[in-house]
Amino acid sequence: MSDGQINSDVSQEPSAKKVKIGNENGNSVSENQFQLKDFTLDKVLNNNTRGKTVCVLGKFKNKSGQAVIILEKNAFKEDDLNESGFFSDETQLRIYFQNDIYGNFECFPKSSINGVKTTVIYPATEKHIAKFSQQEVHVVVETPELYAACTLPHIEKEQFTLQWVYNILEGKSEQDRIVYDSKCEKEGFVLVPDLKWDGLTKETLYLLAIVRQRGIKSLRDLNASHLPLLKNIRDKGKKAILDKYQVPGSQLRIYLHYQPSFYHLHVHFTYLRHEAPGIYAEKAHLLDTVIDNIEMMPDYYQKASLTFSIREMDNIFNVYETNGCVQRVVSPKAELIDK
């Protein structure tokens, strides 16, 4: 992460109840009822002033266990930039200052277009708390040898449960959210809106293609046998998004994460103008580039060194620190205390 950015890949956090409270009309969108008036704040985990997102830790009254809540200012919808939206009679301006032709104000639009996207993770585990906490970040260059010796054992031991993924694939949950469903067990996938997206605002469009084929953990497992699957995701995913949201493939950023937040192969589709979390060079691999690499060398991702970032509170950081690949940052203040 950069600039204190919160990695809000909440749709990829399976081992807790993921609840999105409120939609653009102020209505509940989940059968799980949480009231924020019942929430007691214990700690601010991360306050990202650039991304207008804050992540907090606390407890709900009469509920055991901790909860992580992510509050995020919604992106502006172009459909609201009219006389019935931001320029309506209900909108008020509070002046900060005015000097000649320049004025600086605080705007108070009507409540129906002034919602805050709210995500609740309950009960939150220590892994969730670490994931959403602000912390130092390091870059690792993972060779195939390091993958086999460090990363793979960690994945097999520490990864989140994938039951939430299987619930979607088996038709047990989130079926009303599915945008496209290819049933083929080898080349099929399910396309669903990512939890970071409200499903309505084109400017922040974000969907996730989850493959039906099991056993493909990440980019590292891909080879020539997976090319039909990858091309199917690319081509049919683009068509489904064009048909439903009228966004052409040329305006989509289609990519895989490495390391991913969960180890069942999935592909991200975001609107090109949207600066979504995880689109940076140390995280995202464009799907077309992945396909091209495999076509040139069938076992490319078994032989390549892959760069990724890790945070000091991630358990995998301890693995790589032990092997001398990274070194924890010690603040000058901490050094003085130690002395």
pLDDT in tens, 126-166: 878 877 887 788 999 999 999 999 999 998 887 778 998 99
CATH fourth-level superfamily of 135-322: HIT-like (3.30.428.10)
267 φ, ψ (degrees, to nearest 5): -125, 140
Tell me which amino acid residue 25 is.
N
The residue extents of the domains of the chain are 10-74+115-119, 135-322
For residue 123, give the nearest of 194, 69, 70 by alpha carbon.
69
Tell me which amino acid residue 301 is.
Y
The secondary element (H helix, E strand) that includes residue 334 is helix 332-338
User: Is the overall model pTM greater than 0.95, yes or no?
Assistant: no
Q: Point out the residues that are catalytic.
A: 266
pLDDT in tens, 77-102: 888 899 999 999 999 999 987 888 88
Report in angstroms the alpha-carbon separations of 78 from 75, 204, 274, 293, 315: 9, 12, 14, 38, 42
pLDDT of residue 235: 98
For residue 14, give the nearest of 206, 210, 150 by alpha carbon.
210
pLDDT of residue 236: 98
| Peptide bond preceding 144 in cis form (omega within 30 of 0) | no
